[in-house]
Structure 1
Amino acid sequence: MRGGLARHTRGVDLMKNISNIPQPFLYTRHVHFLNFTRFRIEQPVYINIIRDPINRFLSNYFFRRFGDWRGEQNHLIRTPGMKDDERYLDINVCILENYPECSNPRVFYIIPYFCGQHPQCREPGIWALERAKQNVQENYLLVGILEELEDVLLLLERLLPHYFTGVLNIYKSPDYKKMGNMTGTVRKHTPTLEALQVLYHRMRYEYEFYNFIRDQFHLMKKKIGLKSVSQPPAHSPAFLRELALRTPEPLDEDEELDTDLEDANSWLVHS
C-alpha cells in the first residue's frame, strides 16, 4: 500500500512539473501513461512508437548482456552485477526452461506503459489490453511502429510541424546514419523456431496490441493521404521463421515504474 501511495505521489509531482514548464517543449521518458485530466491538469499531446514485441524482447535481452557498438565495455557499465552464467545464458534455454526473464510477466512489457498506473495494468490479460487500447484511442495523437519509422516521421512532421519539420531529412543524413549504426545491439541472434513459438504464445496479448496499433497507424496514413515511403515486412503465417532483427536498440528499457518516476524530472527537453 505504501509503495502504491509513493508512486501516486511521484506521478502527481511529475504531472505538476510538466504542466509548469514554459511551452513549447518536448518531454521524453519511459513513464506509464498518466491521466492528467483526472487531476484537473491540462493533458499533454501524447505520441509514441512501438516495435515488434519479439524483436523488442530479443534486442533488450542481448543489449543488457553485451551492449552496442558505442563501447566495448558498455554492457559491463549497465549490468556490472551480472554474473557470467547469466550473461552468457543461451536465449533458447532461457525461453524453453521458463527462466523468469523469459516468461510472464517479464515479457508483458509494452501494454503496461499504455494501460497506465492501475496495479492490474501489470497483469497479463484482457483487462490491461483493452484499457491500453482505449487509452491509445482517447489520449494519443499518434502511436507508430518502428518497422515503418520513415512513415512515422512523415506523419509527425504533418501533425506537429513546429517540432518535427525536416525530421525525415535529419534521419536520412550521413551523421545520423553513422550514429545509428553504433547503436546496433551486439551478439544479437534469432532463437530456434521452437523457442520463438513458445515466446510468441507468451506474448499473445502484446501481439494483439501491436497488431491493433499497426492497423490504427495504417488507417491514419490512409485518412491523411500519406504515400508510404517505408517498406514494412510482410508478416506471413511463417513470419516467426523469418523474424528480422534489424532495428536498432533504443535506450535501455529494463526499468521499473518506481525508477521511472523518481528519475523523470531530469529528462526534460526544451525546443
Structure 2
Amino acid sequence: MYCYNRYGMPEPIYVNLVRDPVERVISWYYYVRAPWYYVERKQAFPDIALPDPLWLKKDFETCVLRGDSECRYLEGETHEGIGDHRRQSLFFCGHSDACTPFNTVGALQSRVRCSNLSPNLVTDRPTQPFNTVGALQRAKHAVERHYAVVGILEDLNSTLTVLEHYVPRFFKGASQVYWGVYSLNTTNKVDIDKHASQYIKS
C-alpha cells in the first residue's frame, strides 16, 4: 500500500470516508450478528462453526455495560474475533507490522515494505494492538502524504462538494447523482441507549 512509485508506477488518487467512531462500532456489532451474514459465511466456509445463539441475540448495551471482551475499547488491547473494525485508522495505516492485528489475517503475507517512508514509521516490532500511538501516527502520515480527500460521513454534503472540486474527473456531479438518484435508507437500524454510547466514548 502506498508503494507504487517503488515499482515505477504512478500513485493512484486515494480518497476515503470516515464515520463517527461510536456509530461505526455499533453498526459493525449488529452487522456481524445479522442472520444473513452467517448464512453467507456458512455457504462460503462450510467448516466454520456457527456462533452461540445467545451471542447473536446479545444487544450492544448489555455487551458494553457488562464489559464483554468484544465491547471493550481499551488502548493497547488485542482483539479476537471476526476482523478488527473498531478503529478506522487501520484503513490508512497500511500493512506494516506497526499497524494492527487486523492485517495479520492474510495481508502480512503480501506486505510490501516501503523504502521511501520515514525510518521512524517503519519498524520490525511485533504487530501492535488496538489504538496504539505508533499505528495512529503512521495512519496520519499516510493521510497527509497520499490522500486527496478524506471525507466525513456525517457531513456528506461537504464531502461530496470537496470531492467534486478536488477530483472532478471522477466525482463531477456526485452530489446531484447521490441525492437525486441513489439515496438509500438504512433498514433495521437499532436505537442505542445514550448511556452505553457515552460509556464507550469515554
TM-score calculated relative to the size of structure 2: 0.68
Give yes or no for the alignment of 1:35 onto 2:32.
Answer: no
Instruction: Read off the aligned partner of 1:100 and give its amino acid letter.
Output: S
The amino acid of 2:144's aligned partner reads Q
Partner of 1:47: 15
Q: Deviations over 1:19-43 (max 9, x none)?
A: xxxxxxxxxxxxxx44323444321
Distance in 2, Cα, partners of 1:172 & 1:74: 28
- SS state of the match for residue 188, structure 2? coil
Superposition deviation, residue 79 in structure 1: 5.5
Q: How much does 1:192 deviate?
A: 4.5
More helix by share: 1
DSSP 3-state at the match of 2:154: helix
The 3 A distance-change label for structure 1 pair 187 and 102 is same
CA distance in 2, matches of 1:92, 1:58: 10
User: 58, 66, 79: which is aligned to 1:97?
Assistant: 66
AA in 2 matched with 1:188: V
Q: What secondary structure, in the 3-state scheme, does the structure 2 residue paired with 1:137 have?
A: helix
Which residue number corresponds to residue 188 of structure 1? Answer: 190
| CA–CA separation in structure 2 for the residues paired with 1:39 and 1:96 | 49
What corresponds to 1:57 in structure 2?
25
Change (3 A) 1:191 1:34: farther
The residue that corresponds to 1:77 in the other structure is 39
- What secondary structure sits across from 2:33 in the alignment? helix
Change in CA separation of 1:101 and 1:142 when aligned onto 2, cut-off 3 Å: same
Once the two structures are superposed, the pairs formed by residues 73-222 of structure 1 within 5 Å of their partners are: 74-78=36-40, 81-104=50-73, 105=79, 106=84, 108-122=86-100, 123=129, 124-173=131-180, 175-177=181-183, 180-181=184-185, 184-193=186-195, 195-201=196-202
User: CA offset at residue 185 of structure 1?
Assistant: 4.5
Q: Is the contact made by 1:62 and 1:186 (CA closer than 8 Å) also made in structure 2?
A: no
Gaps of 5+ in 1: 1-32, 67-72, 202-271
Structure 1 residues 77 and 50, CA gap change in structure 2 (3 angstroms) = same
Residues 160/82 of structure 1: CA separation in 2 closer, same or farther (3 Å cut): same
4+ residue runs of structure 1 moved beyond 6 angstroms? none
**Distance in 1 separating the partners of 2:70 and 2:57:** 13
Number of corresponding residues: 157
3-state SS in 1 of match to 2:149: strand
Counterpart AA for 1:199: I
3-state DSSP of counterpart to 2:9: coil
TM-score, with structure 1 as normaliser: 0.52
Amino acid in the other structure paired with 2:197: L
- The answer to whether the Cα contact below 8 Å between 2:16 and 2:149 also exists between their aligned partners in 1 is yes
RMSD, aligned CA? 2.3
- Asked whether the 8 Å contact 2:25–2:86 carries over to 1, the reply is no
SS of the residue corresponding to residue 197 of structure 2 reads: helix
Shift of 1:157: 1.2
**Structure 1 CA distance for aligned equivalents of residues 188 and 38 of structure 2:** 13
Name the aligned partner's letter for residue 198 of structure 1: Y
